[in-house]
């Protein structure tokens, strides 16, 4: 317990989706610990200190407001707070490399490395350095090498403490985690460091949910967990294509399959595809690590999860185009929902990007409504190349051409006015409650609805007069005559 004799100081480098919420909850649950989140971005830190936080997450604002200025601080004085801290969390970005060795698969550890060098430069006392972002296996080892080669007699213990937050429920996930994973070196100092971090979490997490492992196991568990989750989605999406071809109903199939207690019901919703900042990135990483370790069969197995996801998105676009007499050129299409899932404003890797790009490629005019996503975010997403989203904003290209065929609206009715078709791409609760009869009246006929999230009741919409395509559901007679050319 030696650590806790004086007030423990925690510093987190990186004020993003992981660092912000995690540190806010640690501050709330551990009033005796001083928590400072640092970032080189002055605008981001200013937002964390304002009434308009830089990210939207249910309940986050309450937590921040309870602790901010008490034992939770947000600062751009990176060096001072690293110097003062006992425990340093590093939750900087690990984007996928866009060029060079391992481009499109390997993680780019540039930000990680500069964080490690900064720690080595300014530290005057022993530190526990905690890797707190989805990073590939062996990052900890690389960081450890940088710190020990620049140690100036200071002892560093490296821990891996991967996060398992789901956006939209991050605060609840932090309050009540399934497990907290702490990986460390199997040495006496390593075990002491693991214990020190365990004591922080033990303030609110039951002991039996705090799992301690070696460094590699902790790092790989994170990649494996995301790969397994994404695999479930690709499995049900693959079955959804077969359901459409045979007249089965994927919701019924998924329900029956999920009733098997060994399988369980979660993550079995067929959809237009998975998104989010981690699934694809982590699987590509896993693939890369397998390839580097001479395991091509394993690499190809996991690659297939992403291939099915890409197939699902292009299949959806093909359905839209082929249903509408094989052309959407000049037609207005409403897109309801742009975030990768409900209750978040996050658009990273959202399937909506590929669907919109596919429709724009056929010269459609797109009108988008999403309750949480801003217009410039959507314009940026549609102008970007793959993986650019994960790099700093000033490096992100803006192509002026893509921009003009897309408009944003303030509500779903406005988006659908005069449209030939409506694509539902995010499962926001409000889309279940829309007055579809009103939407139908204001659309061009025949009026189409393409439900990429199984939000609506196809039968009710058909009674109104819509031609409905719902993923994995028996096809509308209209669609049966229109082969989905892939």
In sign, the C-alpha dihedral spanning 63, 65, 71, 77 is positive
Determine contact, residues 92/15, Cβ cutoff 8 Å: no
Please check if 49 is assigned to a binding site: no
Distance CA 91, CA 100 (A): 24
Give 283-341 as a DSSP string: HHHHHHHHHHTT-HHHHHHHHHHHHHHHHHHHHHHHHHHHHTTT--TT-EEEEE--SSS
Ramachandran bin of 314, using left for φ above 0, alpha for ψ from -120 to 50, beta for the remaining angles: alpha
The two structure tokens encoding residue 62: 């309450």
Please check if 93 is assigned to a binding site: yes
Please check if 278 is assigned to a binding site: yes
Please check if 92 is assigned to a binding site: yes
Please check if 348 is assigned to a binding site: yes
Q: Which residues contact 209 (CB under 8 A, 6 or more apart)?
A: 177, 178, 179, 180
Q: Is-catalytic flag, 278?
A: yes
Calculate ∠ Cα 20-55-18, nearest 5°. 35
Please check if 453 is assigned to a binding site: no
Please check if 167 is assigned to a binding site: yes
The SS3 call for residue 187 is coil
Determine contact, residues 198/171, Cβ cutoff 8 Å: no
Please check if 95 is assigned to a binding site: yes
Please check if 19 is assigned to a binding site: yes
Please check if 134 is assigned to a binding site: yes
Please check if 199 is assigned to a binding site: no
Please check if 18 is assigned to a binding site: yes
The two structure tokens encoding residue 421: 């078709």
The two structure tokens encoding residue 290: 């397998």
> What is the number of other CB atoms lying within 10 angstroms of the CB of residue 408?
20
Please check if 133 is assigned to a binding site: yes
Give 111-151 as a DSSP string: HHHHHHHHHHHH--S-EEEEE-S---TTHHHHHHHHHHHT-
Q: Which of 278, 290, 356, 423 is catalytic?
A: 278
332 beta partners: 365
Binding residues: 14-19, 39, 44, 92-96, 133-134, 167, 278-281, 348
Residues of each annotated binding site for NAD(+): 14-19, 39, 44, 92-96, 133-134, 167, 278-281, 348
Where in the sequence numbering do the catalytic residues fall?
Answer: 278
């Amino acid at each position: 317990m030696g650590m806790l004799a004086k007030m423990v100081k925690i510093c987190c480098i990186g004020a993003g989706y992981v660092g912000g919420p995690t540190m806010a909850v640690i501050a709330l649950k551990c009033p005796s610990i001083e928590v400072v989140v640092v970032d080189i971005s002055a605008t981001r830190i200013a937002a964390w200190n304002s009434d308009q936080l830089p990210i939207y997450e249910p309940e986050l604002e309450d937590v921040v407001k309870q602790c901010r200025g008490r034992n939770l601080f947000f600062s751009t004085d990176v060096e001072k707070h690293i110097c003062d801290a006992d425990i340093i969390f590093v939750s900087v970005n690990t984007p996928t490399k866009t060029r060079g060795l391992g481009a499109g698969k390997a993680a780019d550890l540039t930000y990680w490395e500069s964080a490690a060098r900064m720690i080595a430069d300014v530290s005057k006392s022993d530190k526990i350095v905690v890797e707190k972002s989805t990073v590939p296996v062996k990052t900890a080892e690389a960081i450890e090498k940088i710190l020990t080669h620049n140690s100036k007699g200071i002892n560093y213990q490296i821990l891996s403490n991967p996060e398992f937050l789901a956006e939209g429920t991050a605060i609840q996930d932090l309050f009540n985690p399934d497990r907290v994973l702490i990986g460390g070196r199997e040495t006496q100092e390593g075990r002491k460091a693991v214990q020190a971090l365990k004591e922080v979490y033990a303030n609110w997490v039951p002991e039996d949910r705090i799992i301690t492992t070696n460094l590699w196991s902790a790092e790989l568990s994170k990649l494996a967990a995301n790969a397994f989750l994404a695999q479930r989605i690709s499995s049900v999406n693959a079955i959804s294509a077969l359901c459409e071809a045979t007249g089965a109903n994927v919701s019924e199939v998924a329900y029956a399959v999920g009733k098997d207690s060994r399988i369980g019901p979660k993550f079995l919703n067929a959809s237009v595809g998975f998104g989010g900042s981690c699934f694809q990135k982590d699987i590509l990483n896993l693939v890369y690590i397998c390839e580097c370790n001479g395991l091509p069969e394993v690499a190809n197995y996991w690659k297939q999860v992403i291939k099915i996801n890409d197939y699902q998105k292009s299949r959806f676009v093909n359905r839209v185009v082929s249903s509408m007499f094989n052309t959407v050129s000049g037609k207005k299409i409403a897109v309801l929902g742009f975030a990768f899932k409900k209750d978040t404003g996050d658009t990273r890797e959202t399937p909506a990007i590929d669907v919109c790009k596919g429709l724009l490629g056929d010269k459609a005019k797109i009108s988008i409504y999403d309750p949480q996503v801003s217009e410039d975010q959507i314009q940026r997403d549609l102008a970007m190349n793959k993986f650019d989203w994960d790099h700093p904003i000033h490096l992100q290209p803006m192509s002026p051409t893509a921009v003009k065929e897309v408009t944003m609206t303030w509500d779903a009715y406005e988006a659908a006015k005069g449209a030939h078709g409506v694509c539902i791409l995010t499962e926001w609760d409000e889309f279940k409650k829309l007055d579809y009869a009103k939407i139908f009246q204001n659309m061009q006929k025949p009026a189409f609805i393409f439900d990429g999230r199984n939000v609506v009741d196809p039968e009710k919409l058909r009674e109104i007069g819509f031609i409905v395509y719902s993923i994995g559901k028996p096809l509308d007679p209209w669609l049966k005559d229109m082969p989905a050319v892939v």
